[in-house]
Amino acid sequence: MIVVMPDPHALPWEPTPMKNPVNFWANLSRFWAENQAAADEELFHDIIPFIQTHYNISDKPSEQAIVGTSMGGIQALGTGMAHLGYFAWIGVFSPTPPSVLGDELNNALKNADKVNENLRLFEIVTGDDDLMTGPGTTEFESQLRALNIKHVYTVIPGTHSMFVWRPALANFLQEIFKK
């Protein structure tokens, strides 16, 4: 297995005015969208071609996974859904609320059959005391259930931290590339 861990900050942080005091994440929507596009560009035009050039890797979706934690979790979700058919395994651990991805994610989720056909495992994990992203993750899981999108949802004791992400990753790695 080859594991690649790029920095989720494809763009440098920039000052963002807090126009919406009720919904913190809504203030960052423009930045998230631009950063997601830049992260995808970097992944598909720089990182993957570099790995393909230097290592003997498969291009089969059944042998490709994407996983991330927190900001990397929302990027794994956004990239995995925007490129259905490239990754058969998506792990999303304590993601920034998916609402920041906007229309691209919503459009992908409209076709539940396509999502279900392309993903062998779609796992979402959050901590039971994650006050930062837990409520948005729980809301997203309810949306997936309502849309009949197959997924595994796990709540692990803990906060927005490695104490949740380590066991989540260990479990995810034991499930991928088997089916």
Ranges of each domain in the chain: 24-175
- Interior angle at CA 64, CA 60 and CA 172, nearest 5: 140
Q: Is the pTM of this model over 0.85?
A: yes
Tell me the C-alpha distance between 84 and 61, whole Å: 9
Give the pLDDT of the chain (179 residues) as one tens digit per residue: 888 988 888 877 777 677 777 776 676 777 778 888 899 999 999 999 999 999 999 999 999 999 999 989 999 999 999 999 999 999 999 998 777 787 888 889 999 999 999 999 999 999 999 998 999 999 999 999 999 999 999 999 999 999 999 999 999 999 999 86
| Pairing assessment for the beta strands 89-93 and 152-156 based on DSSP bridges | unpaired
Select the CATH number that applies to the domain covering 24-175 from these four: 3.40.50.1820, 3.10.450.30, 1.10.3260.10, 1.20.1290.10.
3.40.50.1820
Q: What is the spatial distance between Cα 128 and Cα 133, in angstroms, rounded to a whole number? A: 10
Residue 11 tokens, joined: 């763009």
